[in-house]
Amino acid sequence: MPKVIYVSAGGASREVDVPVGTTVMAAALKNGIDGILAECGGVCMCSTCHVYVDESFFSKLPPAQDTEEAVLEIAAEERKPTSRLSCQIKVTNDLDGLIVRLPEKQR
């Protein structure tokens, strides 16, 4: 099963096994990663599952759709070139070892 590594704003790192097809957001909630709030439940209406994707993985992700692009504009923490919404990242075998860094705040 692919692994996803969540790195908190403080630098603490947690490695989680994530079934293929599960989103990085859903896996965070299920595994008690507190830096992901996911208030809208994963429908691209809030920005509270914002993550910074590690550069080595960023290019492996399908590009963000218009809806996600727009939501990233209202993120509580600065949008960076590797910003994504974790509700839109579905884990695949190709993403095994994916590292996402969590912003200091989500709202």
Partner 1 sequence: MARAGTIIVGTGQAGFQTAASLRMEGYQDPITLIGEEPHIPYQRPPLSKGFVLGKQDAESIELRPAAFYKDHQINLLNGETVVAISRPEKLVEIASGGQLSYDSLVLAVGASNRKVAVNGAELDGVVYLRSLAEAILIKASLEKAQEIVVVGGGFIGLEIAAVACILGKKVTVAEALPRLMPRVVAPLISEFFHDLHTAHGVKILCGAAVSEIVGAGGRVQRVVLADGSSYPADLVVVGIGILPNVDLAKGSGLPVSNGIAVNEFLQTADENIYAIGDCAEFPSPFTGSRVRLESVQNAADQAQSVAATIAGHRSAYRALPWFWTDQFDIKLQMAGISAGYDHVVTRGNRESQKLSVFYFKANKLLAIDSINRPADHMFGRKILAAGVPVSPQQAADESVDLRTLANTSPQHDAHTAGQ
Interface residues toward partner 1, by CB under 8 A:
26, 29-30, 32, 34, 39-41, 43-47, 66-67, 69-71, 73-76, 107
Please identify, using beta-carbon distances, which residue of 24 and 75 lies nearer to partner 1: 75
Shortest Å, Cβ 80 to partner 1: 17
CB of 34 to partner 1, least distance (A): 8
Q: Kindly list the distances between the CA atom of residue 44 and the CA atoms of 5, 26, 71, 96, in Å, as whole numbers in the listed order.
A: 22, 13, 7, 24
C-beta of 47: minimal distance to partner 1 in Å?
6
Sign of the dihedral through C-alpha 8, 67, 41, 23: negative
Evaluate whether 73 touches 99 at the Cβ level (below 8 Å): no
